[in-house]
């Protein structure tokens, strides 16, 4: 499973590079405040991991909180200033996954985070990201995989619980189970929406045959 996480990280980096190369012609649109904030959060991921590895827990916590705030601000600013781009949305999604999973990986390797917590969250992120990438070019499937309320609640719960774990408070494994529950519920929510869309697509295909 660790190998899967590494492959997923490599996939994320390659997708980011690929889309930025494709979007080179639109580079003026990409240089906006929301994308700068996402880029900042991407860089802060490695700062958090390094501080955590060196056991500077309060420093890692402070940087993690700053990064979490940028996650809230980039979406708000993109909508308010009409600076939404397809590449920016993809970049934001990929960075969100990395921002949560990388500190969790360090916590698992160095600070006794239960492996099942990490692997459950990683599994959900890999599945949703993969299905979202598959549905991206499908007009009917794409709306089913757009970020919903359950996904937003999942991200909030993960940020709070990871911040708690970074500070090495007692019983952080139990607190992380809250994030796991939100993670599994969001997976169920996306799966249900996707299943309903596929079900409707089958009805559309079958209906003409009956006629």
**Could you read off the pLDDT tens digit of each residue along the chain, which spans 211 residues?**
556 555 555 555 565 555 555 554 555 555 677 888 888 999 999 999 999 999 999 999 999 999 999 888 877 787 777 767 666 677 788 899 999 999 999 999 999 999 999 999 999 999 988 887 777 777 777 777 787 889 889 999 999 999 999 999 999 999 999 999 999 999 999 888 888 888 877 776 555 555 5
Q: From residue 29, how far is each of 13, 49, 165 by CA, in Å?
A: 21, 31, 37
Report pLDDT for 1.
56
* pLDDT at res. 5: 53
**Tokens for 187?**
């997976």
Domains of the chain (ranges plus CATH)?
A: 2-210 (1.20.120.1760)
Task: Determine the Cα–Cα distance for residues 38 and 34; give it in Å rounded to an integer.
Answer: 6
Return phi, psi of residue 83, to 5°: -115, 30
Give residue 184's pLDDT. 95
Q: Distance between CA atoms of 165 and 208, rounded to whole angstroms?
A: 55
* 3 state DSSP class of 54: coil
Check residue 17 and give its pLDDT: 58
Contact indicator for 165, 174 with CB cutoff of 8 Å: no
DSSP-derived 3-state class of residue 38: helix
**pLDDT the model gives residue 137:** 72
**Three-state secondary structure call for residue 112:** coil
Residues 6+ apart with CB under 8 A from 147: 93
Cβ neighbors of 189 (< 8 A, separation 6 or more) are: 148, 150, 151
Hey, what's the torsion of the CAs at 54, 58, 61, 65, to 10 degrees?
A: -140
User: CA of 188: how far to CAs of 120, 128, 145, 182, in Å?
Assistant: 13, 10, 12, 10
């Amino acid at each position: 499973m660790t190998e899967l996480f590494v492959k997923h990280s490599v996939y994320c980096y390659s997708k980011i590079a690929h889309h930025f190369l494709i979007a080179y012609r639109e580079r003026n649109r990409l240089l906006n405040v929301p994308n700068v904030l996402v880029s900042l959060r991407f860089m802060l991921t490695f700062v958090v991991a390094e501080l955590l590895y060196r056991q500077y827990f309060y420093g890692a916590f402070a940087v993690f909180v700053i990064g979490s705030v940028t996650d809230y601000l980039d979406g708000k600013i993109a909508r308010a200033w009409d600076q939404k781009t397809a590449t920016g949305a993809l970049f934001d999604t990929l960075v969100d996954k990395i921002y949560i999973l990388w500190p969790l990986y360090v916590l698992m390797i160095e600070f006794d985070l239960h492996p099942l917590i990490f692997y459950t969250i990683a599994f959900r992120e890999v599945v949703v990201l993969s299905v979202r990438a598959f549905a991206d070019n499908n007009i009917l499937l794409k709306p089913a995989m757009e970020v919903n309320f359950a996904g937003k609640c999942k991200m909030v719960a993960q940020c709070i619980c990871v911040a708690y774990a970074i500070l090495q408070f007692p019983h952080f494994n139990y607190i992380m189970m809250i994030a796991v529950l939100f993670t599994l519920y969001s997976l169920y929510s996306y799966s249900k929406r996707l299943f309903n869309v596929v079900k409707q697509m089958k009805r559309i295909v079958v209906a003409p045959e009956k006629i």
